[in-house]
Amino acid sequence: MTTLPTTEPASDTASSVDYDAIVIGAGFGGIYMLHKLRNELGLSVRAYDRAAGVGGTWYWNRYPGALSDTEGFVYRYSFDKDLLQDYDWSTRYLKQADILAYLEHVVERFDLAKDIQLNTGIAAAVFDDRTNRWTVTTEQGETVTATYVVTALGLLSKINMPDIPGIETFAGDIIHTGAWPDQHELAGKRVGVIGNGSTGQQVISAVAPEVEHLTAFVRTPQYSVPAGDRPMTADEVTAIKGDFDSIWDQVRNSVVAFGFEESAVPAMSVSEEERQRVFQENWDIGGGFRFMFGTFCDIATDPEANEAAASFIRSKIQEIVKDPEKARILTPTDLYARRPLCANHYYETFNRDNVSVADLKQYPIVEITPEGVRTADGKLHELDVLILATGFDAVDGNYMAMDLRGRGGRTINEAWADAPTSFLGITTNGFPNMFMILGPNGPFTNLPPSIETQVEWISKLVAEAQTREAAVEPTAEAEQAWTETCQTIADMTLFPKVDSWIFGANVPGKTKTVMFYIGGLANYRAQLAEVEDAGFRGFEFVPARATVPA
């Protein structure tokens, strides 16, 4: 891993520096935003991240087995043709370290490090109605001001710590996968993993061979298909590089932007034999989104089609997992309507003698003791290490954790008290000149192409605000209409019928609500183009009061 120069937080707490723009977060979103605003619009920009390195998700999630489940050829930026040609990869999916190295390369390539201040959390950002400027305060007490604030805080970034009685008494190590230390020795230890989403499945499959014993604590079993990871030859990579123009064209004009053609065939329009053939073919190729969207067009919308896919996966679990009791615990019975998962050899891992499964649905966790985890059947699962693969306070989690105040001093917590909302996933009423990357009700896709779409559009909106010498914010009506659009589209799918993070239903006490535009990237881009073509319809441009003659 390359070590980037780290900009230390300023120690002079009294100093105040003025910028055109502040970017909060240095993951995929923040890195590209900094490049765009500084290198293309020519603004003075400072980016901040609480982390000690750039990379966002790929800085924090260093757990064993951490892997992108978007194929590597489209889990990257597309904005620079030379970058696309220069940067190589050698496996179908990219490992955490590969993606981190890639993002570090991008930072170096575009000379961004000098304007990224690491080890610096942003505690507060407060808008001044009179001057149309933001005052931004770091967790170290440094204060800067800026005309624009871009929040690239990450939608899967604020970790979800379970509130389990006695958790603080555990004598071994407790590690959340989203804050994994650089080195952690698991060999020869008794390890428990709570959670079996994307993360849990990856970590379980990766650590099982090295630990003495692994206990998977499963509350809601999930449908999973093979990832189908494999090495890629240099010839395959060269062929993809030669085809990038049409690949990105397809991605931008698709629904989920994962780099495969989505099916247009309804599942029930073909014979049972053909259905099974298609499921098997895609199971063999691997990939969760491919299985849900590349097999048939209505798995996520039609209950009968959904059940056909679900029962195919259930039959695979029965076939693969030899112990009938383990297979029972691992077999989902509800709709196949969470984010579609894939993993390398996940179900096969449960055939290992050193892997057991605790059924939390039947026997929930009662407490954590110094020795391990006690479940409702009275059993104490003795552990040396407890891994929490319990996910994230997704989408708005990092917003609610900041003291973010818009017009009239209204906090984001007040503005989003009922539910987090936005216009176009990018802006929210009452917070002028604040632009969100992957804010609430943004697109539900492979994320780098959506991030690029948003960053490029934000740049246009900033340029427009510069020209008009005014602060820009969406009207409450435009925001309301966008929320309704997102709700209407979500209601056409099966996703809201199941509790998961994509509707904010994974964190106790959080309101279940629509959090994504599920209409696909092509439609999302069309919506953005339409708003822009109509002179940024739905936005108000308000000059600073301090500059308006009395």
In the complex, minimum distance from the CB of residue 186 to ligand NAP, in angstroms, rounded to a whole number:
18
Strands 372-375, 133-138: parallel, antiparallel or unpaired by DSSP? unpaired
Contact of residue 27 among ligand FAD, ligand NAP, none (CB under 5-8 Å per partner type): ligand FAD
The residue within the footprint of ligand FAD, chosen from 27, 287, 372, 440 (CB under 6 A), is 27
Residue of 19, 43, 56, 240 that binds ligand FAD (CB under 6 A) = 56
Return the residue of 29, 200, 226, 430 that touches ligand NAP, per CB under 6 A: 200
Reading the block at residue 417, the tokens are 């008290």
| Selected range binding ligand FAD among 60-68, 216-224, 370-378, 511-519, rule: CB under 6 A | 60-68
We find the least distance from the C-beta atom of residue 336 to ligand NAP, in angstroms, to be 14
State the residue for tokens 């780098």: 448
Which H or E element spans position 489? Answer: helix 476-491
Binding-site partner at residue 194 among ligand FAD, ligand NAP, none, CB < 5 to 8 Å by type: ligand NAP
> Per CB under 6 A, which of residues 155..174 are in contact with ligand FAD?
156-157
Q: Does 436 contact ligand FAD by CB under 6 A?
A: no
| Neighbouring-strand partners of residue 82 | none
Per DSSP, the three-state class of 357 is strand
Q: Is 316 helix (H, G, I), strand (E, B) or coil?
A: helix
Residues 74, 75, 81, CA angle at the centre, nearest 5°? 60
The one among 447, 461, 470, 478 contacting ligand FAD by CB under 6 A: 447
Q: Which of 4, 23, 28, 501 binds ligand FAD (CB under 6 A)?
A: 28
Q: Which residues pair with 91 in a beta bridge?
A: 231
* φ and ψ of 326, to 5 deg: -65, -45
What's the CA angle centered on 160, arms 159 and 165, to 5 degrees?
135
Residues 482-521 that bind ligand NAP (CB under 6 A): 501, 506
What sign has the CA pseudo-torsion 456, 461, 463, 466? negative
The one of ligand FAD, ligand NAP, none whose footprint includes residue 162, by CB under 5 to 8 A per kind, is ligand NAP
Binders in 152-191 for ligand NAP, by CB under 6 A:
156, 162
Please tell me the distance from the alpha carbon of residue 359 to that of residue 481, in angstroms, as a whole number.
43
Q: Which of 119, 93, 98, 109 is nearest to 26 (CA)?
A: 119
| Partners of residue 217 on adjacent β-strands | 194, 358
Considering beta carbons, is residue 393 or 473 the nearer one to ligand FAD? Answer: 393
Binding mask 302-341 for ligand NAP (x = CB under 6 A): -------------------------------------x--
Residues 349-378 as b/e (b if ≥16 CB within 10 A, e otherwise) read bbeeeebbbbbbeeeebbebbeebbbbeee
Span from 22-30, 129-137, 461-469, 521-529 in contact with ligand FAD (CB under 6 A): 22-30
Binding flags for ligand FAD, 279-318, as an x/- string (CB under 6 A): ----------------------------------------
Partner from ligand NAP, ligand FAD, none contacting 57, C-beta within 5 to 8 A by type: ligand FAD
Residues 376-415 close enough to bind ligand FAD by CB under 6 A:
398, 402
- Rounded-to-integer distance, Cα 78 and Cα 276, Å: 36
Q: Would you count residue 199 as binding ligand NAP (CB under 6 A)? A: yes
Q: Applying CB under 6 A, which part among 149-157, 296-304, 458-466, 527-535 lies near ligand FAD?
A: 149-157
d(Cα 205, Cα 64) in Å, to the nearest integer? 9
Using CA atoms, how far residue 3 sits from 34, 107, 108, 534, in Å, is 20, 11, 11, 46
Q: Structure tokens of 160?
A: 């979800």
Nearest position to ligand NAP, beta carbon = 197
Contacting residues toward ligand FAD, per CB under 6 A: 24-30, 48-51, 56-57, 59, 61, 66, 68-70, 75, 121-122, 152-154, 156-157, 199, 398, 402, 437-438, 446-447, 451
